[in-house]
Amino acid sequence: MQYILALDQGTTSSRSILFDRHGQVQTVAQKEFEQIYPEPGWVEHDATEIWSTQMGTASEALSKANVDAEELAAIGITNQRETTIVWDRETGEPIHNAIVWQDRRTSGICDDLKDRGHLDLFQQKTGLIIDAYFSGTKLKWLLDHVDGARERAENGELAFGTVDSWLVWRMTDGKRHITDA
């Protein structure tokens, strides 16, 4: 029998749900992880802990159902919105904690973009408003505040993505850097 494994990487926990070919839940595994608040309005996660809890729940779900990974027909991923991770392409190590979708540290960058009259352009190009929720200003903050990040990015040494992109990159040993955008 073939199965589908759903990876639900949420804001406070990682969960894996194993479905049979009829869509019936076979097992569920869940692990919480630490919320990091370095300053008021800032929210971070240890991306390595996200990885370990997500893979831990996947292994647990398969083990509880006595299913081998080779029996999986597909893996689906849902994740915590616009949480942003930048990592080293060679080592796979994050260069900073993940900046969570709830984080407001880039509000000033957003206000500056609005004050400079870029709101309409952003909406036209992306269909989105300018807000600290989205990952673009989080990426700018990381490039501006992590020592050497901008230079390393310009040299092609870093990769960027939301949690789903990073999980796929790790699961494929760096062979796939993808997103659903």
Q: What is the pLDDT of residues 96-138, one digit of tens each?
A: 999 999 999 999 999 999 999 999 999 999 999 999 999 999 9
CATH class, domain 3-171, is: alpha beta
pLDDT digits (tens, 9 = 90+) for 44-87: 999 999 999 999 999 999 999 999 999 999 999 999 989 999 99
Residue 99: how many other CB atoms lie within 10 Å: 26
Where are the chain's structural domains? 3-171
Residue 180: band (very low, low, confident or very high) from pLDDT cuts 50, 70, 90 = confident
First to last CA, the chain: 32
pTM, 2 dp: 0.93
- Angle, to 10 degrees, between the axis of helix 135-145 and the axis of helix 107-115? 110
Nearest by Cα to 94 from 125, 52, 65, 39: 52
CA distance 10 to 58: 14
CA distance 21 to 140: 43
39: DSSP letter: S
pLDDT digits (tens, 9 = 90+) for 127-166: 999 999 999 999 999 999 999 999 999 999 999 999 999 9
